[in-house]
Amino acid sequence: MVSLTAPAVKQAALECGFELAGVSPALPTAGAERYQAWVGKGYAGAMGYLADYRAERRKDPRSLMASARSILCVGKLYNSPRPYSTAFSDAELGWISRYAWGDDYHDVLRAGLERVVARLGVSEYKICVDTAPLLERSYARLAGLGWIGKNTCLINQGQGSWFFLGEVLLPFDLEPDAPPPDRCGTCTRCIDACPTDAIVAPFELDARLCISYFTIELRGAVPEAARAGVGNHVFGCDICQDVCPWNRRAAVTEEAAFAPRTMNPPLETLASLTKTEFDEMFRSSPVHRAKYSGFLRNVAVAMGNSGSKKFHAPLEKMAACGDAIVAEHAAWALGQLR
Ligand code: B12
Ligand code: SF4
Ligand code: SF4
C-alpha cells in the first residue's frame, strides 16, 4: 500500500497511464452556480439527464459518496498526429471527431483508475468517468489540470485540450492543488470559428446549437435551420479545439486503445452500412452512442451539405427507407443537392 499523501496519489495516477493528475477538495464549487444558470437558460436542450434530479446532485460531490473528502482528478490524452478537421476540404468524406477514432474512453479510463485504487490499497472510493453527475471540468480546473477556455474545454498549457477527464472520490484529506491562470487572454478564435455560433459568450456554450450535440446526443430531427452548419460532421465536432493556439503543438497519446481506426470515411460507404455492418465497424467505439438511425441521419445531412451530385442515388434509397427520421433528412438533402 502506498502512503496516502497527495504527491503519492498523483504519482500512482501517472504510473497508471494518466498524463495529468491533481487533487481538489470534495466540496461544492462556484461551478455549480454557473451550471444552474446554464441549465436555467435551457442550454442543455434535450439532454434531460443534465436538467433532472441529477442536476441537484451535481452541486456537491458528496452526493455521490457521503464520506468523500478529496477528489483525484486525472487527464488522459487521446490526440493522434493526424491533421485537424479544419485542414480537410473534401466534402465527400465524413468527419468523425478526434476523440472517437479509437476505443470508447469510458472503459479505458475506468480500467486505469481501478489500477490506481488497487495500487493505493484503498477500499472506499468512487470512480467517475463522464457519466456521473459531477462537474468534471470544474473539479479538474481546481485540481490544477488546466483552465476552462472560452470554448468551455479544459486546456492544459503544456498538453493542449485533447484529453479526457476522470476522477476518484476518496474518503481522506489530501493537500489540494491550485487552479492555473486563464491563458485565453484576448483570443476569440474558437468563438469566431464555430460554424453554428454555439459559443454564445466566452465560457458559455448553448448545447442546442452545437454540432456535437446534434450528431451525438440529439435523438430525432436536427433543426432544419442548423443542418447547413453541420457540414460534413457525422459524429462530434473538433473545430473550436482545432483552431485553439494551445493545440498547435498538442501532445499525442501513447495509448494503444486510442490508435485511430476510423477518421474520415467516404459518405457513400457510411450510407450503405447495414445495421450489422455499423455495429461491426463501430464496435467498442464512442460512435455507437449515435445509434444506427442517428448516424444515418447525420450521413444524410453531410451528403446534403456536400454539393456532390453523386449522392443522389444513395440519398434516394435512404429517402425510401422505413426509418422516418432518416427518410426525412435524406429528402431534405436531395432538396439541397437540387
Ligand atoms: C453534456 C456534455 C457535453 C454537451 C455540452 C458541452 C458543454 N460545453 O457544456 C455536448 C454534447 C455539446 C458536449 C460536447 C463535447 N464534449 Co462533452 N461532456 C458533457 C458532460 C457529460 C457534462 C458537461 C456539463 O455539465 N456541461 C454543462 C456546463 C455548464 O458545464 P461545464 O462545461 O462542465 O463547465 C461550464 C461551467 O461550469 C463554467 N465554469 C466552471 N468553472 C469555471 C471557472 C471559471 C474561471 C470559468 C471562466 C468558467 C467556469 O464553464 C463551463 C461553461 O459554462 C461532460 C462530463 C461531465 N460529467 O462533466 C462531458 C465533457 C465535458 N465532454 C468532453 C468532450 C471531449 C467533448 C467534445 C470535445 C466531444 C466532441 N469532440 O464532440 C465536445 C466539446 C464541445 C465543447 N466546446 O464543449 C470532455 C471534455 C474534456 C476537456 N478537456 O475539456 C468531458 C469532460 C467528458 C470527459 N470525461 O472527458 N459535451
Ligand atoms: S464543438 Fe463545434 S459546434 Fe460545438 S461549440 Fe465547438 S466548434 Fe461549435
Ligand atoms: S481558441 Fe483562444 S479563446 Fe478559444 S479556448 Fe483557445 S485560447 Fe481560448
pLDDT at 183 over 60: yes
Residues 257 and 166 in one domain: no
Q: Which long-range contacts (CB under 8 A, 24 or more apart) does 203-211 make?
A: 203/148, 203/149, 203/150, 203/152, 204/38, 204/43, 204/152, 205/43, 205/151, 205/152, 206/41, 206/43, 207/43, 207/44, 207/45, 207/47, 208/42, 208/43, 208/45, 210/237, 211/236, 211/237, 211/239
Ligand 1, from 126, 152, 157: best to mutate by most atoms within 8 Å of Cβ? Answer: 152
pLDDT at 1 over 60: no
- DSSP assignments along 174-200, one per residue: -----PPPP--TT--HHHHH-TT--EE
Q: What Å distances lie between residue 181 and 147, 176, 184, 295, CA to CA?
A: 7, 16, 9, 39
Write down the residue that cell numbers 432538396 correspond to.
335
Identify the active-site residue in 60, 130, 182, 323.
130
Residue 183 lies in a domain: no
Q: What is the pTM of this model?
A: 0.97
Q: What Å distances lie between residue 102 and 29, 97, 285, CA to CA?
A: 33, 10, 6
Residues 65 and 155 in one domain: yes
**Smallest CA separation from ligand 2 atom 6, residue:** 240
Residues 200 and 301 in one domain: yes
Domain-terminating residue out of 119, 140, 170 = 170
**265 within 8 A of 302, measured Cβ to Cβ:** no
Residue 86 lies in a domain: no
Interval 42-98: pLDDT, tens:
999 999 999 887 888 899 999 999 999 999 999 999 999 999 999 988 999 999 999
Residues 15 and 156 in one domain: yes
Q: Is the CB of 78 under 6 A from ligand 1?
A: no
Q: How many domains does the chain have?
A: 2
- Distance, CA of 58 to CA of 77 (rounded, Å): 25
| Annotated catalytic residue 130 | yes
Q: Residue 196: which residues within 8 A CB-CB, separation 6 or more?
A: 209, 210, 211, 226, 229, 230
The conformation of residue 154, written as its DSSP 8-state character, comes to: E
Residues, the chain: 338
Q: Is the CB of 151 under 6 A from ligand 1?
A: yes
Residue 64 lies in a domain: yes
Residues 231 and 152 in one domain: no
Q: Is the CB of 240 under 6 A from ligand 2?
A: yes
Q: Is the CB of 189 under 6 A from ligand 3?
A: yes
Residues 230 and 327 in one domain: yes
Residues 140 and 247 in one domain: no
Q: Kindly give the distance from the C-alpha atom of residue 185 to the centroid of ligand 3, in angstroms, as a whole number.
A: 8
pLDDT at 6 over 90: yes
Residue 179 lies in a domain: no
Residue 328 lies in a domain: yes
Range of the domain at 307: 189-337
Residues 157 and 240 in one domain: no
Residues 330 and 257 in one domain: yes
Domain-terminating residue out of 110, 139, 170 = 170
Interval 104-160: pLDDT, tens:
999 999 999 999 999 999 999 999 999 999 999 999 999 999 999 999 999 999 999
Domain-terminating residue out of 170, 202, 219 = 170
Percent of the chain that is helix, strand, coil (3-state, to 5) = 45, 15, 45
Residues 210 and 277 in one domain: yes
Residue 262 lies in a domain: yes
